[in-house]
Amino acid sequence: MFIYYFYLKTKQFHTSRVFPIRKKMYKSLAGIPLGLLLVFFALNQLVLFDGIVTYLVAALFIIVGVVTAVYNYNAFQHYKQFVDEEADLNKDLYEEALKKAKKN
């Protein structure tokens, strides 16, 4: 889960500036495992420890984790539909950026 988060974050950082929607898509896709990590961490704490404070903190982590995962999933679904259109629109800009990078 944590490694998948870092994998997607590196994809976000390595995406060209010509594709801002693709960067947002990777950002939202990386938020899903981050939210799930919070949920699983809270469940782990519930199994390991007893006490009212543990239950309150775990409940808070579960709520925040689920909200984060659902929000980022919906954002991913929204951005995913525009990625191909963005690639077609910025095809010329991307090719120019590649030519400049090869010269330097």
pLDDT tens digits, 74-86: 999 999 989 888 8
Instruction: Report the pLDDT value the prediction gives residue 27, as an integer from 0 to 100.
Output: 92
pLDDT over threshold 70, residue 104:
no
**Tokens found for residue 1:** 């889960």
pLDDT: which is higher, 97 or 57: 57
Instruction: Report the pLDDT value the prediction gives residue 3, as an integer from 0 to 100.
Output: 87
6 by DSSP, 3-state: which? Answer: helix
User: 32-68, pLDDT tens digit by residue?
Assistant: 999 999 999 999 999 999 999 999 999 999 999 999 9
